[in-house]
């Protein structure tokens, strides 16, 4: 019997977002160093260590169109220069699939970008449910002082396309300007 074929439950701690019975996927700075626009700052930070930037759960749910994939994502607080710690971000391999994120703890943003040029940033605060329409790449950004914990759910066969964002970047980044999280055009962005 595969996970997902029978009813089950899992505990996700609402304080730290962690699931004690499952192993998370961790992304340290060295794994995601190309996502930050200030490459010099990134190298400087890496000289002093390799901080954990985020972790999330992939529960090896069945990958059929009628199944759901879910889990938590925890983005840790920190900055590279004026840019906040964030996830790599991705499109779904099946572009016509949406997703919903529910913020349990912390403060941040979800950056959303469509290949037709539309983009949007939504605020994450505890209690906020953010809808990612089909066709939008999405990235979590921690603009607060503690962990940003969200719970997500999407169609299990959607798949992740990380490559498109890896090669192009997001059109807008979020940087700190006078203490305020502010979208900024990505100087390294490559058009579709």
Residues that bind Mn ion (CB under 5 A): 99
Q: Which is nearer to Mn ion, 82 or 161 (CB)?
A: 161
> Distances from the Cα of 37 to the Cαs of 71, 91, 185, in angstroms?
28, 20, 11
In the bound complex, which residue of the shown chain has the CB atom lying closest to Mn ion?
99
State the minimum distance, in angstroms, from the CB of residue 126 to Mn ion.
21
State the minimum distance, in angstroms, from the CB of residue 137 to Mn ion.
9
Q: Which is nearer to Mn ion, 45 or 170 (CB)?
A: 170
Element (H, E) at 152: strand 148-155
Q: Which is nearer to Mn ion, 15 or 96 (CB)?
A: 96
State the minimum distance, in angstroms, from the CB of residue 99 to Mn ion.
5
Q: Which is nearer to Mn ion, 100 or 184 (CB)?
A: 100
Between CA 180 and CA 42 the distance in angstroms is 21
Between CA 22 and CA 66 the distance in angstroms is 23
Q: Which is nearer to Mn ion, 99 or 113 (CB)?
A: 99
| Sign for the pseudo-dihedral over CA of 179, 172, 89, 13 | positive
State the minimum distance, in angstroms, from the CB of residue 187 to Mn ion.
26
State the minimum distance, in angstroms, from the CB of residue 154 to Mn ion.
5
Q: Three-state DSSP class for 151?
A: strand
State the minimum distance, in angstroms, from the CB of residue 20 to Mn ion.
24
Between CA 5 and CA 124 the distance in angstroms is 32
Element (H, E) at 135: none
Q: Which is nearer to Mn ion, 83 or 99 (CB)?
A: 99
> Distances from the Cα of 109 to the Cαs of 23, 50, 56, 131, 148, in angstroms?
25, 23, 16, 12, 9
């Amino acid at each position: 019997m595969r996970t997902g074929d029978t009813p089950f439950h899992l505990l996700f701690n609402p304080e730290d977002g962690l699931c004690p019975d499952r192993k998370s996927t961790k992304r340290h700075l060295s794994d995601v160093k190309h996502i930050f626009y200030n490459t010099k700052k990134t190298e400087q930070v890496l000289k002093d260590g390799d901080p954990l930037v985020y972790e999330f759960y992939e529960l090896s749910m069945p990958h059929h169109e009628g199944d759901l994939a879910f889990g938590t994502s925890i983005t840790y607080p920190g900055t590279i220069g004026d840019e906040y710690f964030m996830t790599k971000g991705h499109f779904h391999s099946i572009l016509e699939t949406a997703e919903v994120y529910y913020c349990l703890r912390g403060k941040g943003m979800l950056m959303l970008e469509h290949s037709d040029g539309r983009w949007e940033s939504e605020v994450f605060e505890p209690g906020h449910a953010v809808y990612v329409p089909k066709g939008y790449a999405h990235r979590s950004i921690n603009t607060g002082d503690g962990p940003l914990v969200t719970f997500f759910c999407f169609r299990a066969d959607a798949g992740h396309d990380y490559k498109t964002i890896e090669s192009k970047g997001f059109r807008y980044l979020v940087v700190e300007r006078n203490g305020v999280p502010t979208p900024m055009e990505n100087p390294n962005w490559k058009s579709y």
